[in-house]
């Protein structure tokens, strides 16, 4: 029977799970370095997403989370971070103005977003969520 379908009685029966010093408030997380599931403490602090407002061309940083764009004065371009340094990173990008000016979302250099060179947002309150796998940006 394949491992994915095998029923286990104890977590210790799984060879890709490493549990150490188990305590309340911990969760299992996947450690890509060791290719194993490990226990980790969950922070009690609320989740915080960095939000930035832009009215001009902008190159995103890995510290950004939400980028709110006002293109009422002119078309603006948001350039994403390089995919190679952004594995697991995501951005929410939103156009908040009602003008006919576009908010363009551009990959870094020759990189694409879902195989497109540029994603164009023309409608007020249009929002795009992109995520990176370390090689490519995808629209979610």
Instruction: Write out pLDDT tens, residues 7-20.
Output: 555 555 566 666 67
pLDDT-derived band of residue 3, with 50, 70 and 90 as boundaries?
very low
The domains of the chain, with CATH numbers, are: 12-45 (no CATH), 51-139 (2.60.120.640)
Residue in the block written with tokens 């980028």:
67
Residue pair 105/80 in contact by the 8 Å Cβ criterion: yes
Its pTM stands at 0.68
pLDDT-derived band of residue 104, with 50, 70 and 90 as boundaries?
very high
CA-CA distance, 14 to 8, in Å (whole number)? Answer: 8
């Amino acid at each position: 029977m394949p491992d994915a379908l095998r029923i286990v009685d104890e977590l210790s029966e799984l060879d890709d799970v490493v549990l150490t010093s188990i305590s309340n408030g911990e969760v299992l997380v996947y450690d890509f370095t060791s290719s194993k599931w490990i226990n980790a403490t969950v922070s009690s602090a609320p989740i915080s997403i960095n939000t930035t407002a832009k009215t001009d061309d902008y190159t995103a940083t890995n510290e950004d989370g939400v980028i709110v764009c006002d293109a009422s004065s002119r078309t603006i371009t948001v350039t994403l971070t390089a995919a190679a340094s952004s594995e697991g990173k995501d951005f929410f990008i939103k156009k908040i103005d009602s003008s006919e000016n576009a908010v363009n979302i551009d990959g870094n250099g020759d990189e694409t977003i879902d195989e497109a060179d540029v994603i164009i947002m023309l409608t007020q309150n249009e929002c795009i969520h992109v995520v990176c796998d370390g090689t490519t940006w995808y629209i979610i």
